[in-house]
Chains A and B, each alone.
Chain A
Amino acid sequence: MVFGLVYFPSVAFILAPMGAEGARRSWAFTYAGVALLVALAVVQPPRVPRRLRWVPARWWPRLGVLALVAVMVGNVGAGLNDPYRFPGPFTWGSDTNSASAEARTVAQQLAITVGPVRAVSDRYTGLALSAYGGVYVATPSSGFPAADLVQTDKDPMPDLVRQLEESHYDYLVVDTRMADAPAFNGDNFGNADPLPGEATPRAFLTRLDAVPWASRVMATDHLRVYRLDLPLLGQTLRTGP
């Protein structure tokens, strides 16, 4: 029960971006202690205050059940959005409804062909790549702007090229549905996304088929896997035979 008390200060941490993740994950453990606290209150209910004596005694259990339902449903509703809670049509950029069999089979095929490689990808496709292909997906940040490969129309800067080569990020996986609509969750590459709240311009994606440093080695209706050959950066492709 003492352990359950940890739950209450942890609630405050969800207001801070750095603490939200840890606070939410701690609830998987502290809820057991909270449950014991609730059980104690149920088994040994407190005396009804004088001002509430007008409520018939037989109503208290029903009010308790109503409060419990409100807490259970409300907790989920406050923490998780609709696409997370309910099954539904494909929704780009949602936590669960942007999962697709297409991404799964691409991840599996990539793993079969080249094994557990390192790749740059959006955070939704990246989940499938990690889970089904064992792919180590890059986490873009301000110091490692890997999202620029997709979210800009410029070649990567030399510092990014160096980091990608040194860390052996040899593949880029793109889901073209990121050009159809903005991500439901607001971004495609986390906090380091240069285009938060915006759909990726389609020209940024088609451009990848015209640069010498990327070869499209796998394609499906919506996904494209590019092999990066960054030493070719700066060279030009010939336009005639």
Chain B
Amino acid sequence: MSTPGPVSRREQRETEGRPSTGRTVLGRALELVVGLALVALGCALSLTGAPTPVRSLVSLPLVVLVAGRAVTVLVLGRDRAVLGTARRAVVDEDTLRLVAPLLFGVIAALGSILVVDLVLRVRVTTTSVVLGVGVVAAALHVAATLGRRTPSPRTSRRRVALLVQGVWLPALFTVLLLVAATGGARAVEAQRVERYTQLTLLDPGLYRTGGLSAAPGARVTVGWVLRGYDEGLADRPRVAVTVAGTPASGLQSRYDAPPVDTTEATAARAGTVSVLAPTTAGLHRVALTVGDGDGAQTLYLVLQVRS
């Protein structure tokens, strides 16, 4: 009849470090809530129309990493010992567990996007991508959290030291290197500043018809808008009109308040110019020039004088 031998120091340590059943249930519930909350936060940021940098750097990474961590737990298990210790590996399991969530997260995201597009027939947008990946991430997280059978043993002090030396310090060094490289690249990046003016017609109807039409000798009116982009404009820019290559007769010019601009123009001027149409029927080229010096722009319109 065998009698139980003395408990080894290692087993004793692991038994002492192992959480009780109550703590395990509480821990799992907390883990479940935290994971789902992160997914909800990512989806909410996307739905509320957060700025692009927030959605790119926070929203999508949140759902991708939750999905990746869940798949890692499902594939590799939560305990480090799952893969055994007798492996002959260049990179230890800790490194693998550090990288696996990223890789699995990206795979889960790509799969989710395919489902959104090909199965659900939902248009692929930034919002639908985050929502699709978020739903998958939530499902994977629930499966990974509730489907786990055993709680994890605590790591020993030696293992923590190895983890810091073998994984976290190189990871920190890599991150610092990437940040420095990004900062250096930004520092040497050439910043292009474009200074230019834009002249366009005030009346959208002229765009649709493509030209002007008038009776012989009648007055023809054209509205214009001159915008400056990092380019200064005179308060009353010069306006000139030629018809068929010669200065127009009866020119009358007026300056108006420019329409509201949504194209980030730094200055805008608007006005209306009217001239007398030629007395001969046919097609005439009308050249409208607005602006001063290098900022002047010219539009060439076709005036049809009806007989």
Contact = CB atoms under 8 A, between A and B. Distances in A.
Interface residues of A, number: 50
A112 interface: yes
Interface SS of chain B? mixed
B211 A229 contact: yes
A218 B300 CA distance: 9
A217 B207 contact: yes
B285 A220 contact: no
B262 to A, nearest CB: 7
B201 to A, nearest CB: 6
Interface in A58-98: 60-61, 64, 87-90
Given A43-B96, A87-B189, A89-B190, A109 B300 contact: no
B87 interface: yes
A219 B89 contact: no
Contacts of B99: 39
Contact of A43 (B87, B198, B208, B249): B87
B229 interface: yes
Contacts of A202: none
Contacts of A229: 210-211, 302
A215 B210 contact: yes
A114 B207 contact: yes
Interface in A202-224: 209-210, 212, 215-222
B214 interface: no
A240 B249 CA distance: 13
B90 A212 contact: no
A29 interface: yes
B198 A106 contact: yes
Contacts of B87: 43-44
Interface string A38-54: 01001111000000000
A237 B189 contact: no
B91 interface: yes
B35 to A, nearest CB: 22
B206 to A, nearest CB: 7
Nearest to A100: B194
A239 B243 CA distance: 9
- Interface hub of B88, B189, B229, B299 (most chain A Cβ within 10 A): B299
10 contacts: A32-B103, A36-B103, A113-B200, A170-B210, A209-B300, A210-B285, A217-B206, A217-B299, A220-B196, A239-B245
Interface of A: 28-29, 32, 35-36, 39, 42-45, 60-61, 64, 87-90, 100-102, 105-106, 108-109, 112-114, 170, 209-210, 212, 215-222, 227-229, 232, 235-241
